[in-house]
A and B are shown apart, each in its own frame.
Chain A
Amino acid sequence: MGTFAARRIAYSIPVLIVASILVFVFVRQTSDPLAHLRTSRDPTVIQRERVRLGLDKPLTTQYVRWAKDFARGKWGESEVSRRSVGTEIRSKFWNTVQLIIWAMVLSAIIAVAIGVYSASRQYSTLDYTFTGLSFMGLSMPTPWFALMAIQLLVFEPRQILHLGEPIFYSVGLHSAINHGFVDYLRHLALPVLTLSVQLVAGWSRYQRSSMLDVMSADYVRTARAKGVPRRQVLIKHGLRNALIPLTTVMAIDIGGLFAGLIVTETIFSWPGMGQLLVSSLLQGDTAILLPWLMVTAVFVVLFNLLADVLYGVLDPRIRLA
């Protein structure tokens, strides 16, 4: 198990290094760190800043210098707020991780339940209903779903029921006065719902088909033939094995989940990584971009590592191969 994990880690380091080179070149080509000085009449200011940031050096030298600084934790400072980029990202990162965890755990539970039900009652009315719903989920434009959720779940009930305050909130993490877990959940509900739509739709289809594959395997027929109750076969032989491929899909989807996070956090004013990216881009704050991409890349790689190791734990054939 140890060597298996070590092999996976060894593979992910070159991936990260290549990613950092490509991302560095891309960001340097598409953004201008001196844009906020361009309005200045004095060309010596721009020249001085160019030299200070090392922008007069060749791109390779710039990359090496940046990589060293990045590894040492010197991520520069925001061009707008003048705060350290490291502090800025650290303050947002945990808020995003909260959304990721809630959305993934909730989606996984619902998707597995739907998948197992649909596979055990294949071609039933409810199975067809879930199939239709998953197609709708996969076709849902996230920004529109979020806006509709705010309209239909925040404003409409409030108006119809004449409530002083809405059942769910659509702005931020906490109320100004009210703190506590219930308040937190009322803020969390809609962003998590928005993120979960696509996840549940995709994963439940996946869980259903991998469950159907497993249930047609020989050992499942053997278990049924020797008299193990249907329910027990479904859970012990079926689900136990059908969960394994889902971990891989969950890991692959984490990169795509950031797309949902960028939209969701922007709409719900959730102070996280996605909102940070959009507001930095809108304000032309280029200092955030590189560290942002690198932090998410490292997060995605670590997440995939975790899934790989989990895969090895769940399926001994993988780690022995």
Chain B
Amino acid sequence: MSSVVGGVELAEELPAPDLVVPGSEPIARSQWELFRRRFLRHKVAVAAAIVLVLLCLSAVFAPALAPYPLNPKLAGQVLAHARQGPSWKHWFGTDELGRDQLTRVLYAGRVSLTVGLMVALVSTVFGTMVGALAGYFGRWTDQALMRLTDLVLVVPPLAILLMAGKHFGGSERVIIAILAVVFWMPIARVVRGVFLSLKEKEFVEAARASGASDLRIIVRHMLPNTIGPIAVNTTLVVGLAILTESTLSFLGFGVQPPTVTWGNMVGQSAQAVGTPLAYLVYFPGLAIFITVLAVNFLGDGLRDAFDPQSSH
């Protein structure tokens, strides 16, 4: 090929279609393929996803993984092992009653992770429904939603949660329920916002013009386009729910002993600060921190993967 001097000649030099090098032809990629590729490029998010999978597995298989029983029966024998710092025999040490802390952290993870995931699930389902209705139909549903969520900004949510936790008692289900009552609202607001902007799009108008019902437009045309923001906010709610549950349990208004959660373990370890038993504080809190950190990085990866324009 001769060198090209003028732009006019360039057009003639374009390779004919049959000259395309095999393998370099543009590949039609599906949305999910694109999503997967973008997500895998975010190395930290991939690492976070792996950490989360491992954490979930360790929670599911806690009874098999735990080196000691959760509630030891032979009290005398166990007390002989009390107050031991971290060692090969007891990785996280033992408390003043001789209970192995690694065992307790593993079992506590089951409760903390369940609470986080269930709160996110319930809030997402309910928040998406309310947000979709408010954004699509507007009017009084929209007004009611916006004013209600305004109120939450006025009254400190943790104060309400503490009172509810005290009144309704500290079973796992109650804590999930009262946390979901707070956390559906941010999701509803996000979904409402996306629906408001989607409502004006041409494809929605086209669907309506071709006679689709409101329900079909919402479910088939608009919801799939809301998947990104919903997924991102659901992961954020998982993290927030785990943090809030731990705070409630720490203060004694969350999940009550004998059920162990990371939060009430931190609460029980509070008096160990400044004593030789201070190691009791380290591990349950570290477990919360690593879990929530991984959840937040995963959310960041999902955000980038769903919406490449919203890069940092």
Contacts and interface: CB of A to CB of B under 8 A. Distances in A.
A262 B251 contact: yes
Contacts of B168: 30
Interface string B284-302: 1110110011011100100
Nearest to B281: A147
Contacts of B292: 139, 141
B147 interface: yes
Contacts of A289: 163
Interface string A129-146: 001000110111111110
Interface in B154-211: 154-160, 162-164, 166-168
A313 interface: no
A18 B167 CA distance: 23
Which of A144, A256, A267, A289 has the most chain B CB within a 10 Å cutoff?
Answer: A144
B293 A136 contact: yes
A229 B247 CA distance: 48
B178 to A, nearest CB: 11
Given A148-B281, A282-B252, A297-B154, A138 B296 contact: yes
A281 B166 contact: yes
Interface in A19-70: 19, 22-23, 26-27, 30-31
Most chain B C-beta atoms within 10 Å of own C-beta, residue among A141, A142, A252: A141
A23 B296 contact: no
A280 to B, nearest CB: 10
A31 B252 CA distance: 17
B154 A31 contact: no
Given A135-B297, A136-B293, A139-B296, A263 B154 contact: no
A293 interface: yes
A5 interface: no
Interface stretch (A75-83, A108-116, A150-158): A150-158
A292 B244 CA distance: 21
B247 A141 contact: yes
Contacts of A150: 273-274
A285 to B, nearest CB: 12
Interface residues of B, number: 49
Contacts of B286: 144
Contacts of B289: 136, 139-141, 144
Contact of B159 (A18, A141, A293): A293
A133 to B, nearest CB: 11
A151 B167 contact: no
B151 to A, nearest CB: 5
A237 B264 CA distance: 49
Nearest to A131: B312
A151 B243 CA distance: 21
Contacts of A136: 289, 293
A144 B266 contact: yes
A296 interface: yes
Interface of A: 15-16, 18-19, 22-23, 26-27, 30-31, 131, 135-136, 138-145, 147-148, 150-151, 154-155, 209, 252, 255-256, 258-259, 262-263, 266-267, 277-278, 281-282, 289, 292-293, 296-297, 300-301, 304
Given A26-B160, A139-B296, A151-B274, 4 more contacts: A142-B247, A262-B156, A278-B162, A281-B163
13 contacts: A15-B151, A19-B155, A31-B163, A139-B292, A142-B243, A142-B247, A144-B246, A144-B286, A144-B289, A209-B312, A258-B156, A262-B162, A289-B163
